[in-house]
Chains A and B, each alone.
Chain A
Amino acid sequence: MLLHALLGGVVFGCYFTLIGLGLNLVFGVMRIVNLAHGDVLMLGSFAAYFLFHLAALSPLSAAPLIVIGFFLLGLPFYYLVVPRLAASRDAEMLSFILFFGVQQIIEALAAIAFGSSERSIPARVLGIGAVHLWGQSLPRAWVISALVALAAVLALYLYLYHTRLGLLTRAVMASREEARASGIDIHRVSAIAFGIGLALAGLAGVFAPFMLGSITPAMGSTINLAAFAVIVVGTLGNPLGTVLGGLVYGVGLLMMQTYLSAWADLLPNLLLILVLLVRPSGLLGRRVRLA
C-alpha cells in the first residue's frame, strides 16, 4: 500500500507541478499573482469537454489546440491589463485585487454559460487498462496526464535555458530594472511568459477531469489553493522549483488519502502553514518572496 501511495503520489506530483507551473512563471517574471489561474484551468477543462463531446476530439488531440488558443488569448489580455498594473506603486497587492475580480467574473460567466452541473470526460478515451509499475497498477489516464505534465516541464526548461527569448525571460525574472537598462523589451518578454502561463493552465485543465474528478465552474478556487501550496513549497518565482513543490504535494496528498483520508483536504493548508512557519522562502529558497 505504501509503494502504491508513493508511486501514485509521484504521478499526481507531476500533474500538480503542471498546475503550479504557469502560476509560478507569471509570478517570477511579472511579480504579480494571478488569482484567476485556477479559473483559467477550469476554462481549459470545459474547452476539452466541449471539444470531446461536440467535435469528438480526444483530450490528447485537443491539448495542442487549447495550448495555442490560451497562449494567444494571454497576449492581448497582458497588454490590456498588466503594463498599467506594473506601473502602479504596489503592483503585487493590486494584482491580488484585480485578479480576484477577474476570477469572480470568469466563474460567474462560466456558471451562466455552462450551468453548475458536474461534467466529465470518460477516462477510457485515454486508453483502457492499467499501467503496471513495480508490481503496482495505476490508471492509464493518470500516467498519461503525468507524462504530459513532464513534457510541459521539459518544454519550459528548454525554452528558459536554451532559447534567446528564454534567456531574456530569466533576465527579467532576475531584475526588471536591470533588464530595462540592458535594452530588453520587458513587455514583449512578459506578454509571452503570461501567454505561456495561461497555456500551461489550459493544458492542466485538459487533464483535470481524469486527475481531479468532475469539472464545474466553481472548481477554480480549490485548484488555486493547491497551486499556491505547490509554488510556495517549491519557492515562489522559481518555475522549476515548482517540480519539487508538486512532488511534495502529490506524495503528501496520496499518503494522506491512503492513511488519513478524512484529513486529505487539509493538505494544502497544512503545507502552506508549515512552509511559512519553517522555511518561508520555500524549499529551494533562492529567491526572496515579496508577496
Chain B
Amino acid sequence: MPADLLRAEGLAAGYGKVRVLWGAGLTVGAGESVVLLGPNGAGKTTLLKVLLGLMPAWAGRVSLEGEEITTWPSDRRVRRGLAYMSEIGVFTALSIAENLAIGGQFSPPARLRRRLDELYAVFPDLAARRGALAGSLSGGQRKMLGIAKALAGAPRLLIMDEPSAGLSPLFVGQVIGILRRFHATGLALLIAEQNVKFLDLAERVFTLEGGRVGFSGSVAELHADNALHRAYFGLGA
C-alpha cells in the first residue's frame, strides 16, 4: 500500500444540531484511487467537505502527508495539492477559459499555460469554445469542464462528489476513461459515488453508512462480502 497522502480519523461533523458524521475515517495513498460508496444521505458529501475544509470538523483529525490540516482553510489545502469537484463543479456565469484559470489560480503563469494546453488537448470540445460561458454547455460538457477545472492546478489528489450525477451511461464511461488517464500519471483520486461503475477505477473501497465507515478493502474483498455485494450490486449481479 502506498504511503498515506490524506488521512482522516474519527471525524464528526454536521449541520446546526444535526450530526451527520459519527467518527468517519479513511486514507488515500499517494497516487492511489479510492472510491467511497454509500447511499443518499450517508454523509459522503459532508465527509468530502470536511476533508476540504469547507465544513468544520466537530471532532477528529485530518492530515496531509502526516501534517495535521484539520483547521486549515480550504484555500490553503488547495495550495497544498488537494482539488475538489463538487456536484456543480463550474461557474456557469464565467467562460470556459475563466473557469480553468480559477482552477489553476495558484500555478505560476507559464506552468498554467502548459497545463491548459495539455487539458485542451484532452478536452477538444472545451478548446473549441474556450470563450463560451460555462452555462451554455450541456450537462456532460459541464462535467468535463468541472474535471478540467479541478485538474488545472495540477493537484496531487482530486476529490470528486458524485461525478456520475446527471450523466448518461455514455458520459459516465468517458469520465472514467479520462480519470483513468490522469490517474496513470500519478494523480490520486477520492471519488464519492453511488454508481458502482466507478469501482472499475478503484484500488480501494470505503463504504459509508449512517455517517460511519462500514467496510474498507479492495474491490475483490467487497465482492467477497455477500451482504455488501447484495447491497451495492443487487442479487443478480
Contact = CB atoms under 8 A, between A and B. Distances in A.
B54 interface: yes
Q: Is the interface of A mostly helix, strand, loop or mixed?
A: helix
Contacts, number: 59
A89 to B, nearest CB: 9
Contacts of B54: 180-181
Instruction: Select the residue from A167, A173, A178, A183 with max chain B CB neighbours within 10 A.
Output: A183
Interface string A243-273: 0000000000000000000000000000000
B102 A185 contact: no
B126 to A, nearest CB: 17
Given A164-B105, A167-B101, A171-B102, A185 B75 contact: yes
A181 B91 contact: no
Interface residues of B, number: 26
B87 to A, nearest CB: 10
A168 interface: yes
Contacts of A174: 91-94
Contacts of A184: 75, 102, 105
B149 A182 contact: yes
Interface stretch (B76-84, B114-122, B169-177, B186-194): B76-84
Given A167-B94, A170-B98, A175-B88, 19 more contacts: A167-B102, A171-B98, A174-B93, A178-B86, A178-B88, A178-B89, A178-B91, A180-B74, A181-B52, A181-B54, A182-B84, A182-B103, A183-B74, A183-B75, A183-B79, A183-B105, A183-B153, A184-B102, A184-B105
Interface of B: 52, 54, 73-75, 77-79, 83-84, 86, 88-94, 98, 101-103, 105-106, 149, 153
Those 10 A-B pairs whose CB atoms lie nearest each other, nearest first: A183-B78, A174-B93, A185-B75, A174-B91, A183-B75, A181-B86, A181-B84, A171-B102, A182-B102, A171-B91
23 contacts: A167-B101, A168-B102, A170-B93, A170-B98, A171-B94, A171-B98, A173-B93, A174-B91, A175-B88, A175-B93, A177-B88, A178-B88, A178-B91, A181-B52, A181-B54, A181-B74, A181-B86, A182-B103, A182-B149, A183-B74, A183-B77, A183-B153, A184-B105
